[in-house]
Structure 1
Amino acid sequence: MTSFPPDVVAAILHHMNDDHTDDNLTIARAFVDPAATAATMTDLDTEGGTWDVVVDGGTRTQTVPWPGPVVERADVRRAVVALHDAAVERLGLPAPEAH
């Protein structure tokens, strides 16, 4: 596992939790628990993203592996999009129009 600099992680988390709350929940429902009612991305590294997922009033932390290699910051966006696309497919939701 390789970590990104703290400022990079903070920027990505800010973006995901401010602009992509629905995407966080879709990923959580597909890969953590279908009964999830909320999800907040709390960390990430080259291996996967970590979310705090609310289910039945309790919160659990779960890391979801990236579906492909993540080495650089730019890879994170591609990995999140691929993870979201896989989540949409797994849940049988309509495909998003554009990322």
Structure 2
Amino acid sequence: MNDDHPEDSLLIAQAFGHTDATASVMTTLDENGGTWVYTLDGSEIPLTLLWTNPISERPEIRREIVVLYDAACERLGITPRPH
């Protein structure tokens, strides 16, 4: 996520953390959700979001991040790119 889609991490942080976030990285994840740390005014702020469904296998992670990405785009009024 951090290497492949850094702009998506920032978009998620801006939608669910603070719209003025300037950077974001995913730091952890488990079966229940993921945690990002975003930067706002020089401070690092954790943001934990729950998955829509608990995950048990690696491919499910992508599905849940896509759900968050789409929800972030909707919340920010941005057209999501095709998946």
Q: What range describes the TM-score normalised by the shorter chain of this pair?
A: over 0.9
| Aligned-partner Cα distance in 1 for 2:19–2:52 | 19
Aligned to 2:73: 88
Higher helix share: 1
Which structure 2 segments of 5+ residues have no match? none
Aligned to 1:58: 43
**1:37-84 Cα shifts (integer Å, max 9, x gaps):** 100110000111111110111001121111233221111010000110
Q: Is the 8 A contact 2:8 2:69 kept in 1?
A: yes
Query: % of aligned pairs identical?
Result: 49
* 2:30 is the alignment partner of 1:45: yes
Aligned length: 83
Structure whose alpha-carbon radius of gyration is higher = 1
RMSD value over aligned CA atoms? 1.0
After superposition, residues 5-24 of structure 1 pair within 5 angstroms as 16-24=1-9
| Aligned-partner Cα distance in 2 for 1:36–1:51 | 12
* 2:25 is the alignment partner of 1:29: no
TM-score between the two structures when normalised by the length of structure 1: 0.79
**1:18-48 Cα shifts (integer Å, max 9, x gaps):** 1100000000111111111100110000111
Higher strand share: 2
